[in-house]
Structure 1
């Protein structure tokens, strides 16, 4: 897919993978409609992207807000004249076992991580269908391939993104709209530090879990952004980001039930 002079919508663009993906697109000449719940952060990203010679607009958007998402395609179309790429990257994290989590927290995470993807896709798909070539890119996770303990809510949301993306890809076969699902491994973003924790969990347990998670986040976001955009250029249906994601995907294919035992042997933990 040629990305020069395309218009890409990126959610969660204020930092991390979204920010890095936006810059990778801008270096290829894509114009950007950048959205995030953090207005000042996404405004700074848009300013930096414009220095790369592309048109970039910034938008304050909560993907859990149905009315705002419904109105968003009109704003983007008005600012850019067309929409070629939708990158559903916005997401949050929630640690803790299922029994520890409040139902309200579970619902909060699903509203953003899964229903936000569905809403954005529904809102933008009619616009994407008008293009000669278009693509929907949904960011899942390595935890959309495996399901570790303590990640019941997050893993459920990312498996949902994976299943939705795969079914949508089959439904759109023969059209000009392709679908990619992205599975990042340990990318060094703030998602672990910002993760919501069970309300009644001991503080030391929460901090210990965050520290462990943070140590696993090693890949620079800039590297992740490049891998994602190269996958878009190649029209990849599945984009694995990082050696850990590729390893886990292979392990899960070999042993879809007992991969956790093999993972413990392979890593020593």
Structure 2
């Protein structure tokens, strides 16, 4: 499988494209001449992303809930009608939820997993047949720093992001074994400056005092500009890299976790 992936003239689907990392990925792809199908639930955000990209490439906007199995199953046909084919799928859509496991209801936990993990699985299942039609194609799944390490107060989020990592790695090995043209890239962003801290939900059982402390701490950890993260991710797609660590915090966590696979939080927790 060729390592280099020329993006000019390709077609990419990007979920969660209304803002943050998804918007930055879409813009970086478009700068390289890649046509984009933008998907999100936020119509206003999709319009803004399309406006920022401009008219240099073909841009389509699609309202999509990745937690809706029927909507995801129907989506490939919609994109194929609009663009003719699909070369890249970026599964970026995600949500955040704060709270200890004993504070989360089953419904709250399942909401995170249904979007952050099941959404990735649904999109992968739906688009793989189209991707396999191409000479080269790439499936790009967004995990997280918390798909490498698991922080207290992030049980649902870490469970979903570790699942994305495991799913992506197993699928990559299956596709390699069948000599498929489809590569799989798993992305582990660290603290990227987006609206995720402000938009994150907290468990209903979390007190206002706990919520305020967590939001401040979370916001301080988000340092890398989204545009910088988008460029790193798209360079990883161009190189068809199997794994992309975004930010020094993700790289540090990866090293510490390998050295201290059980006790890493004794060190990283103090640093955090």
TM tier, shorter chain? over 0.9
> What CA distance in whole angstroms lies between the structure 2 residues aligned with 1:101 and 1:263?
24
Please give the secondary structure, in 1, of the residue aligned with 2:101.
Answer: coil
How far, CA to CA, are the matches of 2:163 and 2:269 in structure 1?
26
Q: What's the CA shift for 1:47?
A: 2.6
What is aligned with 1:42?
A: 46
- Per mean C-alpha deviation after superposition, the further-off stretch among 109-118 and 40-49 is 40-49
Counterpart mapping for 1:214-225 below 5 A? 214-225=219-230
- The alignment's C-alpha RMSD in Å is 0.9
Counterpart Cα distance in 1 of 2:143 and 2:46: 21
Cα offset, 1:264, TM superposition: 4.2
Q: Report what 2:29 is aligned to.
A: 25
Match 2:248 to one of 223, 243, 246: 243
Name stretches of at least 5 consecutive residues in structure 2 with no aligned partner: none
> CA–CA distance in 2 between the matches of 1:115 and 1:264?
29
- Do the aligned partners of 1:47 and 1:56 also contact (CA within 8 Å) in 2? no
* Aligned equivalent of 2:126: 123
Q: CA deviation at 1:201?
A: 1.7
Helix, strand or coil: the match of 1:192?
helix
The residue number in structure 2 matching 1:175 is 180
- Matches of 1:79 and 1:112 in 2, distance apart? 25
Equivalenced residues, count = 266
Map 1:1-269 → 2, pairs under 5 A: 1-51=5-55, 53-173=56-176, 174-264=179-269, 267=271
Q: 2 CA distance for matches of 1:261 and 1:46?
A: 44
Please list the CA deviations of residues 121-150 of structure 1 after superposition, one character each: whole Å capped at 9, or x if unmatched.
Answer: 000000000000000000000000000110
How far off is 1:176 after superposition? Answer: 0.1
- TM normalised by structure 2 equals 0.96
Deviations 1:30-77 (A, max 9, x none): 0000000101211221132134x0000000000001111011101100
Answer whether contact 1:83 1:128 (CA < 8 A) is retained. yes
- TM-score normalised by structure 1 residue count: 0.97
Moved over 4 A (4+): none
Unaligned runs of 5+ in 1: none
